Structure 1
Amino acid sequence: MASLKEVRNRIVSVGSTQQITKAMKMVAAAKLRRAQDNILRMRPYAQRLNSILSNLSNVRDEDGGNVYAQKREVQRVLIIAVTSDRGLCGAFNSNVMKAVNNLINERYSAQAAAGNIEVMAIGKKGHEYFHKRNMPLAGDYTAVFGKLSFETVRVAAEEAMEGFRTGLYDQVDLVYNEFKNVATQIVRTEQFLPIQESEGTQAAATPVESDYIFEPSKEEILEQLIPKSLKIQVYKAVLESNASEHGARMTAMDKATENAGELLKQLKLTYNRTRQAAITTEILEIVGGAEALAASR
């Protein structure tokens, strides 16, 4: 049985840990509120813009149409993996890494064997994970969440878009955590490039001519709106991941605080039992000594 001093030290240690996890839960809750507001405001705009993007991706001009919708034989692949900068958020990061590994093994095993897969890790945890496993990395975006804004995410999106436009990559996929609620985050794997056609277009048996009125011109819309829409999609994924991270950390710290409380109860019970046993032993020793003295007289 552990000594009283050892049990006391453990009680102090677990109590300090409980205070830390409780404080981290409160900080995560405050950050979650802001992150949740940001993604709820972004979703309708991004979804509507994505719908327009899917329709415009089917429009072709005389010079060959939208370069971001061109389908090629998939030989070189870029995977954008959105993780966090810090841990202590449950399985948040490991779920993304597992999804990336499953994607490579199930869909891109031939490209992986040929060394034609790169990962663009947004977040320190993903960057460290894939760097340790000698996975080719595209760019360094470990400081995105330090000052999260559209401008910081835009650089990563532009690099992926430029790589696809120049033929460096034949396909770009996006893996991230979608925020559902505080306790639930859903790992999403989406095709970023080439742009997928809208469901209505895919389901149509024959091509449907959309009656578009282009202002100022079709060329300018294709050159400006589509790239902007793609950048918005990456920004939305990062905002989803940011809200999911704070939700996952809040849940993890809440559970850790509860576990610390349960452990404190057990330790205090052990401490009281050990103390009672020590007192009982001392009393028995005193009584035994007194009886021995009485018998020797």
Structure 2
Amino acid sequence: MANLKEVKERISSVTSTRQITSAMKMVAAAKLRRAQDKITQMRPYSQKLTSILQNVSANLDGDSSSQYSEIRPEPDNVLLVVVSSDRGLCGAFNNNAFKATVKLINEKYSYEYKHDGVHILPIGKKAYEYFSKRGYNVISDYYEIFSDLNFDAARDTAEFAMEGFLNRDFDVVEIIYNEFKNVATQILRTEQFLPIPESKEEVKSDDKNIDYIYEPSIEFVVEELIPKSLKIQFYKAILESNASEHGARMSAMDQATDNAGEMLKELKLVYNRTRQAAITKEILEIVGGAEALAAES
């Protein structure tokens, strides 16, 4: 059985840890509130733009079709945008994204990977560290975006991917991120960014022959609306991941605080038993000594 000093040191250590995790939980809760407000405001706008983008892309044909919709049957170069966090202590948040990325490479882009055609664009320091240490082709110009998260930074990153696609540096661009559902739940998403995917919603027979009216012209829609929409979708994915990170960290710190509380209860019970055993031992020694003295006299 551990001595009293060791148990007291462990109680002190666990108490300090519990205070830290409790404080981190409150900080994460405050950050989550702000991040949640941002993504809640962004979603309706993003969803409407997505709908417009998909409808426009589906109804363009011939010379008017968007360059961002060009499907290349045999891609040689793939860009995977992996959104993580800058810091840890957020449960399986980062590992889930990393595992999904590695699985995607092994199952879908194994040929491209063997021919050095898979490129990783990490968003967040954890993704940069993970893929850099494992020898992947990492583009390291944009991973510090969370140090000052804003639309301008996200736009620059999206433009890099979009220009790379137009210049045929990349034939496919996919984004791996965690979508925020609630504090306790984050949904891992793997979405194709480029070429623009077709809408998964079934088109009703009455809607197939809709005559779209473009103002001021179809060329303007292609040149202006689609690039702006793509940048908004990219920014939305980053905001989703940011809110998910704080939710995951809040849940992890809450669980850690509860575990520390349970451990304190057990340690205090051990401490009391150890102290009681020490007191009993001392009493027995005193009684034994008194009886020995009485026997001698």
Q: TM-score range by the shorter chain?
A: over 0.9
Query: Are residues 1:34 and 2:40 paired?
Result: no
- 1:209 Cα deviation from its structure 2 partner: 4.5
Q: Does 1:66 align with 2:38?
A: no
Deviations 1:103-125 (A, max 9, x none): 11111111111110001100000
What is the deviation of 1:142?
2.6
**Structure 1: how far apart are the matches of 2:89 and 2:128?**
17
Alignment match, 1:126: 127
Instruction: Tell me the distance in 1 between the aligned counterparts of 2:172 and 2:204.
Output: 24
On the 8 A contact 1:59/1:66 being kept in 2, the answer is: no
SS at match of 1:197: coil
Aligned-residue offset at 1:144: 1.1
Q: Deviations over 1:34-79 (max 9, x none)?
A: 1111111111110110111111113446645210000112221000
Inter-CA distance 227–139: structure 2 relative to 1 (3 Å threshold): farther
The SS at the match of 2:176 is: strand
Query: Hey, what does 1:155 align to over in structure 2?
Result: 156
Contact 2:50 2:229 in 1 (8 A): yes
CA distance in 2, matches of 1:203, 1:60: 16
Question: Which residue matches 1:258?
Answer: 258
Q: Do the aligned residues in 2 keep the contact of 1:53 with 1:226 (CA within 8 Å)?
A: yes
Q: Is the aligned partner of 1:296 residue 2:282?
A: no
Superposition deviation, residue 138 in structure 1: 2.1
Residues 139-164 of structure 1, C-alpha deviations (whole Å, 9 max, x = no match): 42232111111111111101000110
* SS of match in other structure, 1:188: strand
RMSD: 1.7
User: Where does the alignment leave 5 or more consecutive residues of structure 2 unmatched?
Assistant: none
Partner of 1:273: 273
The one-letter amino acid paired with 1:86 is: R
CA distance in 2, matches of 1:219, 1:86: 44
Cα distance in 2 for residues equivalent to 1:60 and 1:274: 79
Q: Is the 8 A contact 2:128 2:140 kept in 1?
A: no
Amino acid at match of 2:240: E
Relative distance call for 1:199 and 1:282 in structure 2 (3 A) is closer
- Whichever residue aligns with residue 114 of structure 1, its letter is H
Contact 1:171 1:193 in 2 (8 A): yes
SS at match of 1:58: helix
Q: C-alpha distance in 2, partners of 1:52/1:187?
A: 25
**In the aligned structure 1, how far is the partner of 2:209 from the partner of 2:197?**
17
Distance in 1 separating the partners of 2:232 and 2:210: 24
* 8 Å contact from structure 2 (residues 155, 235) kept in 1: yes
CA distance in 2, matches of 1:156, 1:79: 13
Superposition pairs of residues 8-87 of structure 1, within 5 angstroms:
8-60=8-60, 63=63, 65-72=65-72, 73-87=74-88
TM-score, normalisation: structure 2: 0.96
Displacement, 1:210?
3.7
Report Cα offsets for 1:144-196 as digits up to 9, x if no partner: 11111111111110100011011011111111000111100010011110001
Q: Contact 2:151/2:235 (CA < 8 Å) preserved in 1? A: yes
Equivalent AA in structure 1 for residue 51 of structure 2: S
Moved >4 Å (runs of 4+): 202-205
Structure 2 SS opposite 1:214: coil
What percent of counterpart residues are identical?
62
Letter in 1 for 2:159: E
User: d(CA) in 1 for partners of 2:108 and 2:143?
Assistant: 27
**C-alpha distance in 2 between matches for 1:108 and 1:98:** 14
The aligned residue for residue 147 of structure 2 is: 146
Report how many residues are paired: 296
TM-score by length of 1: 0.96
- Could you list the per-position Cα deviations for residues 6-31 of structure 1 after superposition, in whole angstroms to 9, with x for gaps in the alignment? 11000000000000000000011111
1:215 Cα deviation (Å)? 1.7
CA distance in 1, matches of 2:181, 2:58: 31
Once residues 54 and 283 of structure 1 are traced to their aligned partners in structure 2, the CA distance between those partners, rounded to angstroms, is 84
